[in-house]
Structure 1
């Protein structure tokens, strides 16, 4: 058997990605398929999805941890850039923005859980099978939408800072913290920022909670995937609200120790999201 070197393997993956992008036009026929039925779920389904997500994380062990180490590293790099360019007010928006773009980073985890569900086994290499998927173009397209929301959130956060504590950048970390926590303008920034951030998070959550897993699982169009996700949220307001709070809470906890907790939190949530999708969308 011929063992390919990393260069050969990378070239093959790029070729597969090119084929997938070329298939976007062919993928449009999925837009004509009937929308999947949405089930009502309960709070027990949330617990079960989390339990299965932990099982997948345990099954893949260091494979997943190694794949997801990029999350905290990326966050730290972004934070460092913010410090270096006097953008200290954007550190929290950058970190919290993980909630907006998390579904993009987790698509490989969905595929790993799908493969393990089908075969009882799998590895991190399964994540790269997405390059072969006819839905790859749609996944990229929806990812661009979430990335745009992320950038809009950063712009909104900077505008809120300019209207409250700005427009001059803070002179120091301690001075910034003091202004935020001990002044009326600082608390105004917190309240307005949380409110606006909630709206961004709600929109991103509603259009993506099951859309990415659906695109991986079936050949449907972006519009069908997004509408199915919205219908899932509308049909299950209570459980979906709890799931959103669980995601937000775990991301906060994972971010506290220098973002290192995200090595465990992100893959667990990614795997759990796949199992939640399986419960919500009828097959």
Structure 2
């Protein structure tokens, strides 16, 4: 279903004057399903590149799992999950490039995807640094929460529950902040010669205007990441982390279509 862009509603973000805010459209609740369908189509059109990026996304949580096993610090799971979601948008740049190439009826290539980060290099790397700073800050907060855990208590669920609850609440806050900041920032920087502030403010405004739809979309992303971590660490690391081979490329491709469907362009886009 196509949408028409309407006059941009005023809110604290558009009125802040921090940076230009590119207008967005108001989405329908069923749009995330359309993005997933289009993302799946892109996966089937570029299976080799998809497999390569899927392997990369699966390797990161496996390394986190290895860290948990070696240190015995099970409370690292929640910080690790949030960190994975922090760096995900930055790593997904290559997947965005594949969908963009397919949209232009070009044949995507691995090298072209790798070079995607250089199109708006200064601002894209600044975005990466921003995510890294947020990740480091979150790790410090997580370490503080862990430091409050009495060392004399056994590592059972009853004793861990209060700290897991606190970590979940704080982590949810960080995840929500990062989702506002990063939902559309990376594809905006890739396709348009705009500064980081414009991309971030545009992303935040688009999420705010479409709170219900983006809550569904964000919930789907979180569910995919959480499933992989929980199953991988508690039941079967091959099944859990292997799921990232499929889910993370799908999320990357679908996120590009979410961007195309949400942020205003000067000319119409045909991607269905």
Are 2:210 and 1:224 aligned? no
Aligned residue in 1 for 2:252: 270
What are the within-5 Å matches in structure 2 for residues 117-196 of structure 1?
117-133=103-119, 135-163=120-148, 165-166=149-150, 168=151, 175-176=154-155, 178=156, 181-183=157-159, 186-196=160-170
What is the TM-score of this pair, normalised by structure 1?
0.79
Aligned residue in 2 for 1:27: none
Please, which runs of 5 or more residues in structure 2 have no aligned partner?
1-17, 266-272
Aligned residue in 1 for 2:242: 260
Aligned length: 240
Tell me by how many angstroms 1:36 deviates.
2.0
Tell me by how many angstroms 1:86 deviates.
5.0
Are 2:216 and 1:242 aligned? yes
Structure with higher Rg: it is: 1
Tell me by how many angstroms 1:74 deviates.
2.1
Aligned counterparts of 1:187 and 1:130: Cα–Cα separation in 2 = 43
The answer as to whether partners of 1:103 and 1:212 remain within 8 angstroms in 2 is: yes
Moved over 6 A (4+): none
Are 2:81 and 1:95 aligned? yes
What are the within-5 Å matches in structure 2 for residues 8-19 of structure 1?
none
Secondary structure at 1:41's aligned position in 2? coil
Tell me by how many angstroms 1:141 deviates.
0.7
The answer as to whether partners of 1:104 and 1:143 remain within 8 angstroms in 2 is: yes
CA pair 149-111 structure 1, distance change in 2 beyond 3 A: same
Aligned residue in 2 for 1:38: 24
Tell me by how many angstroms 1:67 deviates.
2.5
Secondary structure at 1:220's aligned position in 2? coil
Aligned residue in 2 for 1:208: 182
The answer as to whether partners of 2:19 and 2:201 remain within 8 angstroms in 1 is: no
Aligned residue in 1 for 2:207: 233
RMSD, aligned CA: 2.1
Tell me by how many angstroms 1:192 deviates.
0.9
Are 2:205 and 1:199 aligned? no
What is the TM-score of this pair, normalised by structure 2?
0.82
What are the within-5 Å matches in structure 2 for residues 74-89 of structure 1?
74-89=60-75
Secondary structure at 2:30's aligned position in 1? helix
The answer as to whether partners of 1:209 and 1:229 remain within 8 angstroms in 2 is: yes
Q: Which has the higher helix share?
A: 1
Aligned counterparts of 2:43 and 2:152: Cα–Cα separation in 1 = 41
